[in-house]
Chains A and B, each alone.
Chain A
Amino acid sequence: MQLQTHFALFDEGSKKEIRRAILKAVAIPGYQVPFASREMPIARGWGTGGLQITLSIIGKQDVLKVIDQGSDESVNAVNIKKLVNKTTGVETTIETSEATIIQSRHRIPEVPLTEKQIMVLQVPIPEPLRWVEPSEFKTKKLHAENDYSGAWLLLFEQIMKYGKTVTNADHPVFVHDRYVMAPSPIPRFDNTKMHQSEALILLGAGREKKIYAVPPYTNVNSLAFEDHPFEVESFDGKHCHLCHAATVFMDELINQETGESYYQCNDTSYCLAKLNEQEHMPEVVIEHAR
């Protein structure tokens, strides 16, 4: 017997509550709106926040892409894609430009997003001040009072200790010059893609029960000191060993035999598209030349 699940798994009451939270999040950019996070068929910490947003916004006309650290093929991405597809019947894709909803764990795709797309990011720890203040009540108060000295101090201490900020990912950002926000553990390389983005960006933290958003065309500035400007990961002189792209975020891999390191695009669908492009290089056919 095949059980018929409700469209997009959730009951309509759950969808309504999450949708209301999403609308508030869009109206107050960067502010973490509390919501009644549901039990999901995947474990907490495996993308339940992103999944709840995706299931609440998705409709029959949508095309879904799910990535995990830039890969369309990882277990997490494939399972989430399958779950959404099974309960909604929507098409899935690996082409960034074809998708209307892109759910992602820790990356913003290399292909620029458009205004027809919604980016959904999975967030493990939505509170940028959690490292300096364990109490949720107190961090809420700090946000209310616009007191971000803790976030600045964290960066200052890193500079004192290491001569530079050492936030590999999840480097805090100022949204619309008011809220400091955790952009989810995307590399610093992707922080700049949030600034004045064409697409709406929704962020969901399931375990922490928070939804927040960055509307399109909104100022998103990474926290930095004047004498220590914000720096993204540099891949100067490096290129992808498969498609030779040089201006994208890359993973460093080690050749087991020689011990040498080489680089590869982190965004697999971008790499694949580039390889296919190179495969079909238009050749000039001499006999038709006039």
Chain B
Amino acid sequence: MVIDVVHNTQEVFRTILHCMSRPGTIKNIDGIGSRMEQLEKCHHATFLSVMTLLDAEVSFHIIGGNAAVLEELFTAYTLSTATDLGQADYIFILQDAQPQMIHEVFRRAKKGTLMNPQQSATIIMETKKLSNDPLLTIRGPGIETMENVHIAESELWRFERAEANQEYPLGVDMILIDCQSNMMCLPRTTKFQDCEVS
């Protein structure tokens, strides 16, 4: 058994829940389940998130990488269907996605409606490195005062994310994953504040 669909997905969910309710907190899920050999094109933690969140009731869209191969794989394992970027419930941005495509995601992703803000996309994004180095600070619900975060190449999408989330409660929530299977979440309520260098 590569991934125990009962207990491993529960562990992954609790990790996502912990990170989503405490933005900026980094948790590692490398030890959960074992790596699948045919998964060269997406991180182990990304696949674990797929197994945890996706099923026939939701749709997804993949940006970057070998999208066609992964789409087939995700559907085979979860029965979830691939769909257009503007319709997808879960959008996967893989490590090798082009910057202009990332901008496109934040522009076109579902933000929900004022009546139903939950009908919005969750963006699951692969990044090179996540840490709590004091490069940026974030604030918002789930953070006592502020939290330091360093997300590799976040300058590519921070502005677009802020635009997508400017009309709270509309917006997109993010799950960030790095190649060491570290995970960090940024719900729509979290705001970046660039650190001042003194």
A144 beta carbon closer than 8 Å to chain B: yes
Contact A57-B117, Cβ < 8 Å, known A28-B169, A176-B141: no
Give Cα A115–Cα B57 distance, bound, in whole angstroms.
32
Contact across chains for A28 and B117 when beta carbons are under 8 A apart: yes
Give Cα A101–Cα B125 distance, bound, in whole angstroms.
30
Contact across chains for B122 and A23 when beta carbons are under 8 A apart: yes
| Contact flags A112-144 to B (C-beta < 8 A → 1, else 0) | 000100000000000000000000000011001
Contact across chains for B10 and A59 when beta carbons are under 8 A apart: yes
Contact across chains for A59 and B7 when beta carbons are under 8 A apart: yes
How many A residues have CB within 8 A of the partner chain?
A: 41
Contact across chains for B55 and A26 when beta carbons are under 8 A apart: no
Return chain A residues, CB-CB under 8 Å to B55: 13, 16-17
Return chain B residues, CB-CB under 8 Å to A215: 21-22, 141-142, 187, 189
Contact across chains for B7 and A7 when beta carbons are under 8 A apart: yes
- Identity of the chain A residue whose Cβ is nearest the Cβ of B188 in the assembled complex: A27
Give Cα A42–Cα B141 distance, bound, in whole angstroms.
34
Contact across chains for B187 and A20 when beta carbons are under 8 A apart: no
Give Cα A144–Cα B54 distance, bound, in whole angstroms.
28
Give residues of chain B (119-144) contacting chain A, Cβ–Cβ below 8 Å.
Answer: 120, 122, 141-144
B13 beta carbon closer than 8 Å to chain A: yes
- Identity of the chain B residue whose Cβ is nearest the Cβ of A144 in the assembled complex: B114
A279 beta carbon closer than 8 Å to chain B: no
Contact across chains for B187 and A26 when beta carbons are under 8 A apart: yes
Give Cα A6–Cα B6 distance, bound, in whole angstroms.
9
A97 beta carbon closer than 8 Å to chain B: no
Contact across chains for B117 and A31 when beta carbons are under 8 A apart: yes
Give residues of chain A (1-22) contacting chain B, Cβ–Cβ below 8 Å.
Answer: 6-7, 12-13, 15-17, 19-22
> How close is A289's CB to chain B, nearest CB, in angstroms?
45
Give Cα A115–Cα B7 distance, bound, in whole angstroms.
22
Return chain B residues, CB-CB under 8 Å to A6: 6
Return chain B residues, CB-CB under 8 Å to A17: 55, 57
Contact across chains for A200 and B21 when beta carbons are under 8 A apart: yes
Return chain B residues, CB-CB under 8 Å to A218: 141-142
Cβ-Cβ contact count across A and B, 8 Å cutoff? 102
> How close is B109's CB to chain A, nearest CB, in angstroms?
14
The residue that B14 contacts in the complex, of A27, A57, A176, with Cβ under 8 A, is: A57
A290 beta carbon closer than 8 Å to chain B: no
Return chain A residues, CB-CB under 8 Å to B57: 13, 17
The residue that B115 contacts in the complex, of A16, A23, A140, A213, with Cβ under 8 A, is: A140
Return chain A residues, CB-CB under 8 Å to B116: 140
Return chain B residues, CB-CB under 8 Å to A196: 144
Return chain B residues, CB-CB under 8 Å to A115: 22
- Identity of the chain A residue whose Cβ is nearest the Cβ of B175 in the assembled complex: A23
Contact across chains for A28 and B118 when beta carbons are under 8 A apart: yes
Return chain A residues, CB-CB under 8 Å to B113: 144
| Contact flags B172-194 to A (C-beta < 8 A → 1, else 0) | 01000000000000011100000
The residue that B21 contacts in the complex, of A26, A145, A176, A219, with Cβ under 8 A, is: A26
A-B contact pairs, 30 of them (CB 8 A): A7-B6, A7-B7, A12-B9, A16-B53, A16-B55, A17-B55, A19-B53, A20-B58, A25-B118, A26-B17, A26-B142, A28-B169, A57-B13, A58-B10, A59-B7, A59-B11, A59-B14, A115-B22, A140-B116, A141-B115, A144-B113, A176-B141, A196-B144, A213-B21, A216-B22, A216-B141, A216-B144, A217-B142, A217-B143, A217-B144
Top 6 nearest A-B pairs by Cβ distance? Answer: A27-B187, A144-B114, A218-B141, A24-B118, A215-B142, A27-B173
Interface residues of B (CB under 8 A from A): 5-7, 9-11, 13-14, 16-17, 20-22, 52-55, 57-58, 113-118, 120, 122, 141-144, 168-169, 173, 187-189
Interface residues of A (CB under 8 A from B): 6-7, 12-13, 15-17, 19-29, 31, 33-34, 57-60, 115, 140-141, 144-145, 176, 178-179, 196, 200, 213, 215-219
Known: A179-B169, A215-B142. 9 other contacts (CB 8 A): A7-B6, A19-B52, A34-B118, A59-B11, A215-B22, A215-B141, A217-B142, A217-B144, A218-B142
